[in-house]
Amino acid sequence: MSAPRPDPGSVVLGALGERARDLHPMLQRRFGVSTAAGYSCVGRGVMDRLWHGPSWTLPFLHLGAWRNILVPDAATDVPFSVENYAYVDSLGRETVTVVRTFEIAPGRRRRFDATLVADGPGRVLDYLGTHQHLAVDLVPSVLPDGSLRIVSAAQRFYEGRVAFRFPMALSGTAELTEGFDEARDCFTIDVRVTNERFGPLAGYAGSFTCEFPEVTGDAVPPAVRPLREESRR
């Protein structure tokens, strides 16, 4: 059964505005999840490659993995899932989960968690990790072939009363490209995190298929929600 018609007021499509019409129809469906649309999106597939930069990047990646931010592993043919559930958070914001799970080896999994909220035209706010310590500005755009490109921009760190703009020299810029391969009937994804001075830090690439469960709002599994919600943007 086909998924319901995507809601143009969803977090990602809302940021794209009129440009959302240029996305491949399957990407419109995938990123059209919202509580108003009445459906979410769960994808499962295989990452052909999961990679990280030189060995000196590993302490940085392991620190992020402590709160489900980044994945400090390198492997091939990695079973993968991505759970995008729509709900309204405790602050009244339309929210979409982005919970990526990588099965590095039997019984050994890594998670990379984020939650997306609307942040006005042309931008999405991405809270990273289980406790939303990092708030990252995301800028989505549509490529000529109908693929979606998302690039990260400014980053802020929040913990209790501590709040500061995270210097990009000590962090990385993420670039995500998602497309739809009609010949294989699947979604494709390529994510790269690079540092402006030190080069590639981590990334992954592969493909997956999606289901569109009619699960939103209070029915969203607690396991995919953050443990703490941050009000600062």
Three-class SS of residue 18? helix
- Counts of helices then strands in the chain (DSSP H, E): 3, 12
- pLDDT, position 1: 42
38-61 pLDDT per residue, tens: 999 999 999 999 998 877 676 666
Q: Where are the beta strands (DSSP E) in the chain?
A: 41-52, 75-84, 86-88, 94-105, 108-118, 124-128, 134-142, 148-159, 162-165, 173-181, 186-195, 199-211
63-100 pLDDT per residue, tens: 655 666 778 899 999 999 999 999 999 999 999 999 99
pTM recorded for the entire structure: 0.92
In terms of average pLDDT, the best of 64-78, 115-129, 158-172 is 115-129
Distance CA 194, CA 47 (A): 19
Instruction: Quickly tell me which residue has 């709002």 as its tokens.
Output: 217
Is the pLDDT at 27 greater than 80, yes or no? Answer: yes
Give me the chain's average pLDDT, please. Answer: 91
Distance CA 18, CA 5 (A): 16
- pLDDT, position 64: 57
Q: Give the closest residue to 80 by CA, choosing from 103, 97, 99.
A: 103
Which region holds residue 65: left if phi is over 0, alpha if psi is between -120 and 50, else beta? Answer: alpha
Distance CA 1, CA 163 (A): 46
Domain ranges of the chain: 11-217
On the 0-12 / 13-18 / 19+ scale of CB atoms within 10 A, 211 is exposed
Q: Give the closest residue to 27 by CA, choosing from 15, 39, 12.
A: 12
- pLDDT, position 60: 66
Is the pLDDT at 2 greater than 60, yes or no? Answer: no
Distance CA 142, CA 97 (A): 21
- pLDDT, position 66: 60
177-186 pLDDT per residue, tens: 999 999 999 9
Beta bridge partners of 138: 124, 152
Distance CA 159, CA 135 (A): 11
- pLDDT, position 56: 67
Is the pLDDT at 131 greater than 60, yes or no? Answer: yes
Fold classification of 11-217 (topology level): Lipocalin (2.40.128)
Is the pLDDT at 17 greater than 50, yes or no? Answer: yes
